[in-house]
Copies of this chain bind each other. A is one copy, B any other.
Amino acid sequence: MTHTVNQIADALGAKVEGDGTLEVTGVSEPASAGPNDLALAMSPKFAESLPQGAAQVAALWDGADWQALGLKAAVFVPRPRYALSGLTQLMDPGPEIAPGIHPTAVVDPSAQIGKGAAVGPFVVIGARVRIGKTARIASHVSIAEDAVIGDDALLMNGARIGSRVTIGDRFIAQPGAVVGSDGLSFVTPEKSNVERVRETMGQASEIAEQSWTRIHSLGAVEIGDDVELGANACIDKGTIRSTRVGNGTKIDNLVHVAHNVVIGNDCLFAAGVGIAGSTTLGDRVVLGGHVGVVDNISIGSDVVAGGGTKILSSVPAGRAVMGNPAVKMEQNIEIYKGLRRLPRLFKQVAELQKAVSKTAKSD
């Protein structure tokens, strides 16, 4: 991927100083940059290690003195992390999947695959599947009967798309991601022990032997545009209607989305998040790593939950929460301050008891 400095700046809408015709072939941290790399030195701290590398060109912060830094050219970016997005997109070669359909792939004759597809070895595409244009489908992917996928999909190795799943444009699935597994939905002929515990908060009396009868997943999964799903993440089918994920939502590795869950637009779930059955989440909800959300509750738009939070009841829109169980972030910080002072509090109360008992006696 060779680009001139001018081409890079054009792509980023950024300003160039120095020799814009220089060519770069990669992007690097300053200390490890080779002579053909664009060094990322978008703050003075990072620029300090430029001399350890061999960069001739760097991305710098507004107002940096590129000549004093010994460079031949520089690109000036206003919001560095945002610039990184354009830069990395430009320099990413993408996965090598040969154009066309690999001879080993098993594609049902009734499946429709749009123009410009690259389908790798050992891919299996089922009956009546419809896939949009310029799909990139890596080896070992399976797409089951009646699934519909939009344009520009990127399905990495071993991703699994279940039957009847519908997905919008620009979908990305990392390796091993599963869309459309059956929900874990079971019922007992009589009221189960769990139902009793939920009603009484803890009294699991009158336990009877019981076994689980399966509720099949007749629903599917409906996913909007611009959704990404991480490695080995799973989204279950709904029971009657579909499990739903809105446009622009990004889901990290090893996340679990249970049956009937409804997720809004532009949410971001970090790795290991689990959302239990039939819960509804609004737009722009951000859940940190290992956040758990119980079933049948409602999380408003713009909720932010810190890593490790366990959300056991509904959360109104716009609230930042933390802890197990989740409380408002400020309240959680108060509670933990309190916890650390607990041993001292016990001492203080013991002393007070002594003092008061003495006063009482001396009365």
Contacts and interface: CB of A to CB of B under 8 A. Distances in A.
A31 to B, nearest CB: 9
Contacts of A160: 156-158, 175-176, 231
How many copies are assembled? 3
Given A272-B292, A340-B335, A184 B250 contact: yes
Nearest to A273: B272
A80 to B, nearest CB: 10
A240 to B, nearest CB: 5
Interface in A330-363: 330-331, 333-336, 338-343, 345-346, 348-349, 352-353, 355-356, 359-360, 362-363
A253 B359 CA distance: 62
Contact of A330 (B124, B163, B201, B359): B201
B232 A232 contact: yes
A168 interface: no
B286 A274 contact: no
B338 A284 contact: no
A289 B308 contact: no
A11 to B, nearest CB: 13
Contacts of A265: 211
Given A126-B96, A144-B95, A342-B335, A329 B202 contact: yes
A169 to B, nearest CB: 14
Interface string A173-198: 01110100110101111000110010
Interface string A73-93: 000000101101100110110
Most B CB contacts (10 A, CB to CB) among A241, A306, A348 go to A306
A263 to B, nearest CB: 14
A236 B176 CA distance: 13
Point out which of A126, A157, A215, A306 has the most chain B C-beta atoms below 10 A from its C-beta. Answer: A157
